[in-house]
Amino acid sequence: MRLRHAAMPLSLGLALLCAVMVAGPAEGPATAARTAAWSAPLAARDGRAAAWAAPSGTVTAPDGRTFFTDRDGRVVRPRGLNLGKTDTVTEEHIAQLAGDGFNLVRLNIQWEKVEPHRGRYDTGYLRYLDRVLDWADRYRVLVLIDWHQDVFGPAFGHNGIPTWATRTDGLPFQPNPDDWFADYFQPAVQAAFTHLYDDPDLRAAQRAAYTEVASALRGHRSLLGYDLFNEPFGPVPGDPTDPDDQIRASATLERGRLAAMYRRLIGAVRSADPDAWLFVEPTVLVGQGVPTSLPGFHDPRPGAARLGYAPHYYDTAVESGADWDPSGRFIEQYETAIGRYPTTHRLPVLVGEWGPPQAHTPGNAELIRRQVASMDGFASGWALWYDCRADNGGGYCAYDRDGSPAPGKEPAFAPYAPAVAGIPGTESYAPATRTYTLALTADRTTRRAWTLLSLPVTAFPHGVRVTVTGAGPAVEVVAGGSGRAKLRLPAARPGARVRVTVSAH
C-alpha cells in the first residue's frame, strides 16, 4: 500500500483522523495487509478542497440505469439542495452547502425576473445569476438552473411567468387558501397555460428569454444545465378528483403541448450553449402514481446527447399535512410510474425536488429514509427541497435553526460517494454504528481514476477507518478537505466486486 499525505488548512478547530486498513480479495482469504494511521486537519467549511467531478457523458449499467460520467469515465452522483430564493443567495450559502458534503445546487430562477417587461431583460438580475455561478465555480459545486413556476405566475399570487405574458380570456380565478395546488385547476390558470403553449408570440418570447439566460451563463465550469420547466401543468380538463381523468389529461399534455414546448426550449438553450445538460420533467401527477407519457427528445448537440429526466418525488397526502403511511405504497407506485421512461430512453435521472415539509414525526422521518434508499436504486442524483433554516425543521427547511440538519432529515446529509471509478451498487449509512458502506463493480476506470467519498464531520466527528475488500492489496487512500477522502484501486480487476466500508475511528 502506498500512502500519501495531503496538506490542508485548519478551520474551526476540527480535525479528521483517518486509519486506513486494506484487506485482500473478498472471494478468498484476506492477504496480509499493512495498516497505516495518520491525521490531517479538516477545513469544515472549505468546499474548495473537493476534487472536481462534472458530468460530460453517460454510461448505462446492466440493470438499465443510466449514470452521469465525467471525462475520466467515473460515475458522477450529484446530491444537494434547492435554493428557493435566487435573489437572496450569498457566497456563504454555497460555501456551507459544499462544507456539508453536497456537490449540487438547484437554483430557482423565474422568467418574471429575467424579463419583467416585455422585450427588456433585467441585466442586474443576469449579473447576479452569473455571480452565483462564480461562487459555485469557486467551491466546485454543480448548478442546475431551475426555470421555476408555481401556479403559472404572479398574476395568480405565485411566481414564474411574467404578468405581461399571462392571458386569461377574462375567466375567473378564486384562490383556495387551504390548498394552493387546487389553484392550478382554476379556469383563468388553465387559460393562461393554454395561451403559453399555443400563442406564437408567447412561444417566441419564451424561447428568446431562455436563449438570453443561456448566453449569459454559458462557460461556467459549475453549470450542469437547465431544468427546462418546473412542475409543468395545464391545461388539464376533467375532474381533478377523478384518477382516470387525470391520467388521460396528463398523458395528453405530455405527448402534445408539453412535448412541443420542450422541443422549442431544447433548441433555444442549445443555440447558445452546446454543452449544458437539458432536463425534462413530467407533470407533478407522477407523485400520485400517474405514469410518465413524455416522448423521447432529440438533442441537436454534435456528438453525444446531454439530456436528462428530472421528476419530483412528493407524496400528495404528506404535502397536505398527513404523517406518511407506508401502507399506502407511495414509494412503490412512484418507482413504477417513473421507471420505464428513463430506462427506455437511456436518460440519467436527477430528482429535482423531494422531501416532506417536516420530518420530526415518525412517518415522515421514515419517508426521508425510504426516499434516500429508493433514489439510490433509480436516480443518478437529487436535490432536496430546500436550503433554509427554521425552528424544529418546519417549512421544508433542510436545516434547523442552529444550522444542523433538521430533525428527521439527517439521512439527506449522510456520507456518499460523489464520484465512483466503477459501476456503483448499493450504498448505505448506519447512524447508530457510524458505518458507511459502498459496493461497486470495477470497470476500466477503476485502476486509473479516484473514487471520491464525502464523509461529513457530522457523521464522523473523530475520524474514520476505511476498509476495502475485493480490490487486492494495492489501495491508495488520500484525505481531502471538508470531510472528504479519495481512494484508488489499482489492483481491482474489471468485473470484480469491491466493498468500501468507512467506520468511526
Tell me the per-residue pLDDT of 223-264, one tens digit each, with 9 for 90 and over. 999 999 999 998 877 777 787 888 888 899 999 999 999 999
Q: Report the pLDDT value the prediction gives residue 393, as an integer from 0 to 100.
A: 59
Q: In one letter, which amino acid is 200?
A: P
Q: Report the pLDDT value the prediction gives residue 41, as an integer from 0 to 100.
A: 32
Residues in the chain: 505
Going by pLDDT thresholds of 50, 70 and 90, the confidence category of residue 371 is: very high
Going by pLDDT thresholds of 50, 70 and 90, the confidence category of residue 100 is: very high
8 Å CB contact between 412 and 405: yes
pLDDT over 80 at 64, yes or no: yes
pLDDT over 90 at 499, yes or no: yes
Q: Report the pLDDT value the prediction gives residue 438, as an integer from 0 to 100.
A: 97
Q: Which three cell numbers stand for residue 305?
A: 446527447
C-alpha 115/C-alpha 212 separation (Å) is 10
pLDDT digits (tens, 9 = 90+) for 261-285: 999 999 999 999 999 999 999 998 8
Q: Report the pLDDT value the prediction gives residue 497, as an integer from 0 to 100.
A: 95
Q: Report the pLDDT value the prediction gives residue 481, as an integer from 0 to 100.
A: 58
pLDDT over 50 at 14, yes or no: no
pLDDT digits (tens, 9 = 90+) for 408-465: 999 999 999 999 999 999 999 999 999 999 999 999 999 999 999 999 888 888 888 8
Q: Report the pLDDT value the prediction gives residue 303, as an integer from 0 to 100.
A: 87
Q: Which three cell numbers stand for residue 89?
A: 443567495
pLDDT over 80 at 469, yes or no: yes
User: Across the strands, what pairs with 419?
Assistant: 76, 452
Query: Model pTM?
Result: 0.90
Local structure of 270: helix, strand or coil: helix
- State the DSSP code for 405: B
pLDDT digits (tens, 9 = 90+) for 268-327: 999 999 999 999 999 988 888 888 999 999 999 988 999 999 999 999 899 989 999 999
C-alpha 392/C-alpha 406 separation (Å) is 7
Helices (H), 273-414: 316-319, 330-345, 362-378
Sign of the alpha-carbon dihedral angle for 375, 376, 379, 382: positive
Count of CA atoms in the C-beta half-sphere (13 A) of 332: 5
pLDDT over 90 at 484, yes or no: no
